[in-house]
Chain A
């Protein structure tokens, strides 16, 4: 594992020297993460709500057929 770590580290250092790497600041990275986390939360909430509604709908259908 140590060998692998060191290989990637060497590549990063080499590419940094060649000016091919841009490291974002902590705030820039946090800003991206925040946007992704907000989007992710929205996806999760929407999915949970849809799932809940579909369960409620199935329950209604089952109840209606039971009462018939």
Chain B
């Protein structure tokens, strides 16, 4: 791993702070500073995480299409923000930040960030033609989904996507 747990934890807060203060994305609230929050960080495989997304009944098909079709590295870091001071097995997640765990450069590769309403992602992987891809290359898109509901990710690396063990 090129990004270890300590580094991801620090970077996660940098992502949230920057997105919440940038003029284009400041309307997206990833956490409420006036309330108590729990942060949950874990390393997982993109296959496992995509399996979780595709099996979530509370997430719309549109959200699934955009996130699942996004090309991801083999391993990713996921950070979840949970409102409150206690955590249970299946709890609602306020926002999620997904970062490339295999990134060897010095840029810190944000894959996507979302709260229950907005998704911010670079989606240039979705287009078939080069011209379409070029037109969106290295540009972020903000999707307004209304009201998605996320729950804490469980069965990490338990082979859920292969039905090996879950």
Which A residues fall within an 8 A CB radius of B? Answer: 2, 4-9, 11-12, 14-15, 20-26, 28-33, 35-37, 39-44, 46-47
Contacts and interface: CB of A to CB of B under 8 A. Distances in A.
Contact of A15 (B14, B62, B106): B62
Contact of A36 (B7, B18, B61, B132): B18
Given A4-B69, A43-B10, A9 B138 contact: no
B19 interface: yes
Contacts of B24: 22, 24, 28, 32
B107 A33 contact: yes
Contacts, number: 109
B22 interface: yes
Given A36-B107, A37-B107, A22 B18 contact: no
8 contacts: A9-B126, A12-B126, A29-B138, A30-B138, A36-B108, A39-B14, A39-B15, A43-B11
A4 B25 CA distance: 28
Interface in B105-142: 106-108, 110, 122-123, 125-128, 132, 136, 138-142
Contacts of B138: 26, 29-30, 33
Interface residues of B, number: 39
A8 B7 contact: no
B14 A40 contact: yes
A2 B125 CA distance: 11
B14 A23 contact: no
A31 B22 CA distance: 9
